[in-house]
Amino acid sequence: MSRQNYLFTSESVSEGHPDKVCDRISDAILDAFLEQAPEARVACETFATTNRVVVGGEVRGPQAVIDSVEDIVRECVRDIGYTQDGFHADTLEVTNLLHEQSVDISMGVDASDDKEEGAGDQGIMFGYAVDETEVLMPAPIHYSHAILARLALERKSGVGPAAVLGPDMKSQLSLRYVDGRPMGATSIVLSTQHLDETLTSRDVRAIVEPYIRETLPAEWITDETEWLVNPTGKFVIGGPDGDAGLTGRKIIVDTYGGAAPHGGGAFSGKDPTKVDRSAAYAARYLAKNVVAAGLATKCTLQLAYAIGVARPLSIYVDTHGTGKVEEAAIEAAIAKAMDLTPRGIREHLKLNRPIYQRTAAYGHFGRTPDADGGFSWEKTDLIEAIKSAL
């Protein structure tokens, strides 16, 4: 039997965190390709350090997008809010090393007369859902994201006390679980860059605490909750000037905050033929619909693929003792309810669209589906199909 009474902690990082700057740039470049060529192939990596951004990777798409990389980089950095001496949208140096995709990879992935379109790589992908929150995400990561998203909104408004905060932030939330349900925050950790060098940790707490209290359930914060705001003191130098960044280095932040397993592949900068991304979205979509259908209160789902092979090698479901039906029956039902080939996933979730830049910060899961198709994997429109297959 799983533990019912325990503490669990998750962290999030803001759009201005060095790694998230890189995720944003990689996904913005991906969106630029998909906007011009929905079937483009993109595997884009970004590295950032003091006043320098290096973009590299393999692509198959319009040359015009490759030529526009520098403009895309500067616009991302400017929108995030970096105009500091060590990392400035207008003065940083951009190196563009994008090149043509390997013909060996494209041969294995492309469809032909005698072959279905194959997966862009081998790997295992996980999806997870739990009824701790309305969006069926684990509460620690959901609220860690929510704190930073709220502070970013206030910071970028340019008015109010949060206007003195910088783009680089990290949050960490420890929750107390009783009988398997989150009941309170034992500690709240926030480190945020600030533009006013005279601010103390106490000053920064006075700025951020009201927003954090508005974001968390009121009953979770008590006199016993420990607050650690900028515990190292001054935090003026932030972003890639303070710490180098790299695409794909925050995959626990991107997924479930450590409350569930995730695959070995990062998401950002990869077009949806790469099952690291598309199958992870499909796994979340299926797990969420299983829980939304009332078949379990918690569901972990694994998919496995081989490069160049269309069909998943295996489907695994674990409802952690909360299931209303056998896991094997759910596995069979989801295989009937959704085509889990790479093309089937892309067409079902309509992934060949420029919808990825918005995923780069505050989590790929637990978000509200957008009218233009963004976060389509967060819909719960497969409930009836799964029940019918059962």
Q: Which of 8, 11, 15, 19 is catalytic?
A: 19
According to the annotation, is 274 in a ligand binding site? yes
Task: Write out the two tokens for 280.
Answer: 């992870």
Q: Which of 11, 23, 45, 318 is catalytic?
A: 45
- List 116, 243, 331, 339, catalytic entry: 243
Which 3 state secondary structure label does DSSP give 238? Answer: coil
Active-site residue 260, yes or no? no
Q: Known binder of ligand: residue 115?
A: no
- Of all helices (H) and strands (E), which one includes residue 32? helix 18-36
The C-alpha atoms of residue 84 and residue 162 are separated, in whole angstroms, by: 17
Whole-number Å distance between alpha carbons of 366 and 288: 10
Which tokens sit at 186? Answer: 């034992």
Cα angle 64-70-76, degrees, rounded to a multiple of 5 = 110
Q: Is there a binding annotation on residue 110?
A: no
On whether 45 is known to bind a ligand per the annotation, the reply is yes
Q: Does the annotation place 90 within a ligand binding site?
A: no
Q: Is 209 annotated as a binding residue?
A: no
Task: Choose among 272, 265, 211, 262: nearest CA to 31.
Answer: 272
350 is in an annotated binding site: no
* Catalytic residue flag (residue 115): no
Do 47 and 22 form a contact (C-beta atoms < 8 A)?
yes
* Cα separation, 145 vs 13, whole angstroms: 8
- Catalytic option among 8, 17, 360, 375: 17
Residue 249 is labelled as binding a ligand: yes
Of the candidates 20, 60, 262, 277, the residue annotated as catalytic is: 20
20 is catalytic: yes
Q: Is 243 annotated as a binding residue?
A: yes
**249 catalytic per annotation:** yes
Residues 6+ apart with CB under 8 A from 334: 286, 290, 301, 315, 317, 340, 386, 389
Check whether 266 is labelled as a binding-site residue. Answer: yes
Quick check: is 336 catalytic? Answer: no
Q: Catalytic site residue 170?
A: yes
Exactly one of 235, 267, 365, 375 is catalytic; which is it? 235
Q: 17 among the known binding-site residues?
A: yes
Catalytic annotation present for 276? yes
**Which tokens sit at 67?**
């030529």
324 catalytically annotated: no
Tokens of residue 295, six digits: 């078949």
Active site residue 156: no
Report the binding-site residues for Mg(2+).
19
Report the binding-site residues.
17, 19, 45, 58, 101, 168-170, 234-235, 243, 249-250, 266, 270, 274
Report the binding-site residues for K(+).
45
Report the binding-site residues for L-methionine.
58, 101, 243, 274
Report the binding-site residues for ATP.
17, 168-170, 234-235, 243, 249-250, 266, 270
Residues forming the active site: 17, 19-20, 45, 58, 170, 235, 243-244, 249-250, 270, 274, 276
